[in-house]
Amino acid sequence: MNEEHTTSENEDLDEEILFLVSQTFKAISDPTRIRILNLLSKKEHSVNELGEKLNLKQSTVSHQLSFLKNLRLVKFRREGTTLYYSQDDEHVMAILQQTIDHAKHN
């Protein structure tokens, strides 16, 4: 069979989706962001808590959180002057967990 596909049947991904997919993999390809997302998969954390648990400067944590926030992978709530971050996308967290499980099995 050698049928032409019509536009509506085109199974290729459009450029916007391709860009978002590649940005998403980029987001979870960085060790620091992986550590942050792993902690946020368990519960919300303040920027300070993340810095302390991961032994990172607050500026480093904030920089990575804003990267993740732009992709809508995390969200925050404000309590006084403290920002509490939590995960905001079950798909990407599932991919991350799958990949962690994959890395752990032999």
- Choose among 66, 71, 65, 57: nearest CA to 26: 71
Q: In sequence order, what are the residues at sequence separation of 6 or more whose Cβ sits closer than 8 angstroms to the Cβ of residue 28?
A: 34, 37, 92, 95, 96, 99
- The residue (of 78 and 102) whose beta carbon lies closer to Zn ion is 102
- The residue (of 65 and 92) whose beta carbon lies closer to Zn ion is 92
C-alpha span between 24 and 20 (Å, rounded): 6
* Least distance to Zn ion, CB of residue 41, Å: 18
Residue pair 25/33 in contact (Cβ under 8 Å)? The answer is: no
- The residue (of 29 and 106) whose beta carbon lies closer to Zn ion is 106
Site string for Zn ion, 87-106 (x = CB under 5 A): ---------------x----
**78 in contact with Zn ion (CB under 5 A):** no
Binding site for Zn ion (CB under 5 A): 102
